[in-house]
Structure formats: C-alpha cells, structure tokens
Amino acid sequence: MRQYLVLLFVLFHSWAVAQRPSMEDNLFVLPDTVKPFTIENFYSLILQNHPIAKQSALLTDVAQQEIRMARGNFDPKLEAQLLTKNYNDQEYYSVLNGSLKFPTFFPIDPVIGMERNRGNYLNPERYIDNEFNYQQFYAGISIPLGRGLITDDRRAALRQADLFKELTEAEQVKLINKLLLEAAKEYWQWYNAYYNYRLLNQSVVIAEEIFRRVRINHQYGEASQIDTIQAKITWQQRIIEQQEAALDFQNTGVRLSTFLWDSLSNPLSLDMHWAPTRQPDPWMMTQGGLEELTNRAKINHPELLKLNIKLQQLEVERKLASEYLKPKLNLNYYLLNQPFNPDWNTSLQLNEDYKLGVDFSIPVFLRKERSKLAQTKLKVMNTQYDRSLTEREIINDLNSTYNQLINILSIVNQQREMITNYEQLLNAEMLNLQQGESDLFKINVQQEKLIQSQTKWLKLLSDFEKQKAYLYWAAGTRHLGRT
C-alpha cells in the first residue's frame, strides 16, 4: 500500500507540473505536425480574398464613376439643327445652325457656331446676305450675373461627387472593420477551443495512466476495488471532456473557415492540422493611450467622417438653394463673322457686327426656393445633433470597453494566482495521501478544481483579445490596428 501511495504522489506531481500555465509551459508549444496560423495571417487572407473585402473595394470604383458622370456636365457639346421647307417648287426657307459649346467650371460658357439661312420666305431676323454664301460665323459667351454666378447645378454636382468619394472611403473602412471584428471573435473562440482541447488531452493521459496503475495495484492487492472504480470514472470523465473539447475545436474551425477564401473566390476549409499561435501576456493600454485613441476616433472614426461629409454635402445644397433666391440674369454676347468677314479683316471690333442679349426671370414669391433653403438648414441642424450624439456614444463605448479590459486583465492575474494556489492544494493533498491522511476522491476533487481554473484562465485570455479587438473597432481604427 505504501508503494501505491508513493506512485500516486509521483503521478499527480507530474500531472501538476505538466498543467502549470507558466511561460515555460509546453501547452503553447505546437507539435511538429501542426501548422501555426496567426491572427495576422488570418487578417491578411481576409483583406485579400474575402467577398466583402472585394465588395468594399468596388465602392472606390463606384465613386470614380460618380465623379466621371459629374464631370460629364463640363464636356463640350456639339449641336446642329436643320429646318427646310419646299412647296410648289419653291424653297420657302432653309435654316442650318451648328454650334459647339464649352461649359467651364467658371461661370462663363463660350460658344462658337455657324448659321446658313436662305429662302424666299425666310424670317427677316434670320436673314443673311449672300456675300458669304448665306453663311455667318459667330463666337461668344454667356455670363450669369445673378443666379449661377457663385455656384450652379453642374458645379454642385461635381462637388457632391467628390464628397461621395470621401464618403465611400469612410464606408469602406466601416465595412472592413466590421468584417474583421466578426472574424476576430471567431479566431479567439477557435484559439480558446484549441488550447482547451490540448489541456484536457493532457488530463486524459494522466487519468488513463493513474487508472492503469491503480488497476495493476488492485490486482496485487495494494488498492481497493473502490479506488479502481473511482480512477476509471475519473478517466472516463476526462475522455468525455476531451471529446467535447475536440468537437468544440472542430466546430470553431468550421466557423472560422467562413472567412477564408482563395484568390479565385473559392471557399477554403481549415482542418485540425492548423492551430492558433500563443499570444504574449495580455497587453494593456495606459490612460494616456486611451486618450490618444479617443482623440483619433473623434477625427477618423468612419461614422463621424460620414456625418462630417454629410454636413459638407448639405452645405453644398445650402449654397445652391441660396443661389436660387437670386434672379436669373444672363448676359449673352456674340461676335458675328469676326474675324471671318468677307474682307478677311482679322481685327476684332467689339462694337461692330455683334449680337447682344439679356435674359431675366425670377419667381414672384420664391416660395419653392425659400422652402428648399429652409429644409436644407433643418437637415444641417439634424445632422449636427446626430454627430454630437454619435461622438458621445463612441467616447462612452471606448471608456466602457477600456474598463472591461482592465477588469478582465485583473481577473486574468487573479486566475493565475488561483491556479498556483490550486496546485499547492493538490500537492498538499497528495502529501496527505502519501501519509495516509487522504484518498483518491479528495485528490480528484482538487484535480477537477485545478482543471476548471485552468480552463477559465484560457477563456479569459480569449475574452481579453476579443475585447481588445472591439476596442479598436469602437475607435474606428482602420483594420483594427493590426495592419
């Protein structure tokens, strides 16, 4: 019986050393048959190949096409019109008008053109004599002196397109960060499942060896039948726990595979030959680091950027709405046949051979225009309120997450101490067993508590990494601060 107690003491002592979660612990040393898969590798694959990442990249192309479409309002425009009438073998009139307009970003629209008008019943205002074959060249400009002088629809559309590009960049960061946050949660769940499986796998090996030794001792009369049953129950319990942990590791790997795609957009599977790598001791951000992160969030958070851009878009709308309160007053001036006159005189005479016109219009009550401006101002106020509320929520979320990180880190350290204390209790119980003052049941109780404590410690490490990823997501940090 004395040899049996000494044997149990040696076995349990070996088990305690193997289970100790210290820096030197071989729990985190991956076997040669297992390939490491780091969180950085995981993020890199997602950013390169995940469909949502590729979809977010398309937002840039969409924005570029919006800008291209807005710039189309400034494309030169070629126009032509031909009107003819023949009746009873007479040419009543033949009117041909062709022009090329050059819209510019400035409130000036140059135009050049040619008219050819002839016929027996031509409208007198269209009359052109035949000294230049009934043709007349013209070149001129149209200048808005009222509405459209400061801004107009086409300039506002271009500015809105530029702002839309900035908006899509913020939306792209938001989509990618959300994707990486969900991926990070699954990765750290997989991390916890793997190392918990390894931990329980070690406990099965120890429990099986104890059962084998106790059974042998029982055959030689050095252990009771009850001890044998107790050792077998413990071994069976460890097997069940190991099987559950293996299933959890397998399923978390399946869920993790949801985020894995190759360059051809084919889904990838993560088998059990891949494993997460050990992380260093939990990182902790100082209060100064939190303040710096908060200040960056106020500037670069995608939600705040989107609201800032929306305010800029509304400012463009407000300026355009204010412009419509002005009367429409356009000055049109065209030089006629200069310098292409019949005498081939190339000098320009602004006070000769010209056409001058003024267009004027204004709604009497301006109710539509004033209502549009008032609506835009209300939208600005509403967006400003949204921005203030969103900024406050972001800051509070950061502070709350930071507090949770501090709390988890404190619990992690306490859990480390608890593991050490449970090891001491187990060693003391084994010493009592050696002296005949304990039994296998008490040993199993202490062993169970130690395993539970170690399992909880692993889960806390996983929870800490999840919360850290959430902290950077809450701050709107691009790629969660990883890349």
> What domains appear along the chain, each with residue ranges and CATH number?
2-69+155-298+389-476 (1.20.1600.10), 77-152+315-376 (no CATH)
Q: What pLDDT is recorded for position 23?
A: 37
Of the candidates 227, 228, 222, 231, the residue with the CA atom closest to the CA atom of residue 2: 222
CA 447 – CA 425 distance, rounded (Å): 9
Q: What pLDDT is recorded for position 9?
A: 47
Q: How confident is the model at residue 132 (pLDDT cuts 50, 70, 90)?
A: confident
Q: How confident is the model at residue 168 (pLDDT cuts 50, 70, 90)?
A: very high
Lowest mean pLDDT among 286-300, 349-363, 435-449, 467-481: 435-449
CA 331 – CA 13 distance, rounded (Å): 99
Q: What pLDDT is recorded for position 17?
A: 47
Whether 325 and 370 have beta carbons less than 8 Å apart is answered as: yes
**Per-residue pLDDT at 24 exceeds 50:** no
Q: What pLDDT is recorded for position 25?
A: 58
- Look-up of token digits 């050792």: 231
Handedness of CA 361, 367, 370, 376 (dihedral sign): negative
Phi, psi of 428 (to 5 degrees): -65, -40
Whether 398 and 290 have beta carbons less than 8 Å apart is answered as: yes
Instruction: Output helix, strand, coil percentages for the chain, rounded to the nearest 5.
Output: 65, 15, 25
**Per-residue pLDDT at 473 exceeds 50:** yes
Q: How confident is the model at residue 11 (pLDDT cuts 50, 70, 90)?
A: low
**Per-residue pLDDT at 290 exceeds 90:** yes
Token output for 374? 């008032």
Which one has a higher pLDDT value, 215 or 279?
215
- Look-up of token digits 């599977």: 269
CA 348 – CA 359 distance, rounded (Å): 25
Q: What pLDDT is recorded for position 2?
A: 46
Question: Could you report the per-residue pLDDT of 323-362, keeping only the tens digit for each?
Answer: 999 999 999 999 988 655 555 555 666 777 889 999 999 9
CA 122 – CA 433 distance, rounded (Å): 125
**Per-residue pLDDT at 81 exceeds 70:** yes
Question: Could you report the per-residue pLDDT of 34-64, keeping only the tens digit for each?
Answer: 999 999 999 999 999 999 999 999 999 999 9
